[in-house]
Amino acid sequence: MKTLDVDRSDAAYRAWLKEAVRKVKADANRSADTHLLRFPLPEEWGIDLYLKDESTHPTGSLKHRLARSLFLHALCNGWIRPGKPVVEASSGSTAVSEAYFAKLIGVPFIAVMPRTTSQEKIALIQAQGGDCHLVEDTRTLYEVSARLAAESGGHYMDQFTYAERATDWRGNNNIAESIYHQMQQERFPEPSWIVATAGTGGTSATLARYVHYMQADTRVCVADPENSCFFDGWVTGDLSVTCDCGSRIEGIGRPRVEPSFVPGAIDRMMKVPDAASVAGVRLLDRVMGRKPGGSTGTGLWSALKIVAEMRAAGEQGSVVTLICDPGDRYLDKYYSDAWLAEQGLDIAPYLTVLEKLLATGEWTGE
């Protein structure tokens, strides 16, 4: 029997691949780290709250890190090919970042998004040269994305499956390593808690894995909005649970428990009312003069609840959460009283809880 030998090496493709990887890595090399901001709490509390400001990335959100990792992962696996589109199911911020990297390496990009996605995000994707394919039912995002990729000969990036495996959680300047490095000179350098939110689940997986790998005592809490299944799946252990409608807090909350969510790695979850999330972003705007997106409010509400618990228990330490993206993408939503009224959201009671906490140190919310 003869030796069977099939050589599919392609010098032109390898040259293109090397240049594509170089461009993506060069983007990281040009980027400075994001700021770790202190939230103003009374010094005498002995508790410090920090916000990792991921809105300062070139594409304006935490998803810039994820998109870079996803592109490197897909390129090195041979999944992205010259001239063929990258397709992604995304409610916005990941699509903005992936459109940026697709343009950087010169391939088409198609974002499959809910029709309710903000016009600001759609405009940002289009500004990067991406196309937007809008769907009525958020539950069809995955199916439509896979179909479009198959029909075009492109690659379905599938952030919800690959987010947790595309990121090097042991280091390589991931978000967890960055936080710990920036905390080194603080009075409580090892955070008592890190609070994240979940869109894919990849960020919380990276944070929790890094904590365990570094043998730190930090605990990781994931804050989940209404109309999302991560909390229910984590509490019950049933990862097949689904929701009938999509999250009003763009970028986080999913109608299913995504494959990138690693429930066993995290310590705690909170189910945060949407009105509380919006109260959180309004508070941050008022206290620090920064307008973040809605997911930041979800995390901030949970972080402040933990601060209140630590104060009540007489504990000292630090808590870290994230500014995920800027609020100028949501001016017609979370900063619009008309939108709140349309959605039936009353943020006043939640703002009262937060304002009382800052004034007295007491938490009166549930």
How high is the pLDDT of residue 92? 81
How high is the pLDDT of residue 246? 81
**pLDDT, tens digit, for every residue of 136-180?**
887 788 999 999 999 999 999 999 999 999 988 887 779 999 999
Contact (CB, 8 A) for 191 and 320? yes
- State whether residue 342 is helix, strand or coil: helix
Contact (CB, 8 A) for 80 and 72? no
Q: Which long-range contacts (CB under 8 A, 24 or more apart) does 131-138 make?
A: 132/95, 138/114, 138/245, 138/246, 138/255
**pLDDT, tens digit, for every residue of 68-124?**
999 999 999 999 999 999 999 987 889 999 999 999 999 999 999 988 887 888 999
Mean pLDDT of 271-299: 97
Percent with pLDDT over 90 in the chain: 87
How high is the pLDDT of residue 10? 96
What's the predicted TM-score (pTM) here? 0.93
pLDDT band at 31 (very low <50, low <70, confident <90, very high): confident
Residue 363 has pLDDT above 90, yes or no: yes
d(CA 347, CA 92): 24
At residue 51's C-alpha, the angle toward residues 46 and 54, to 5°, is 165
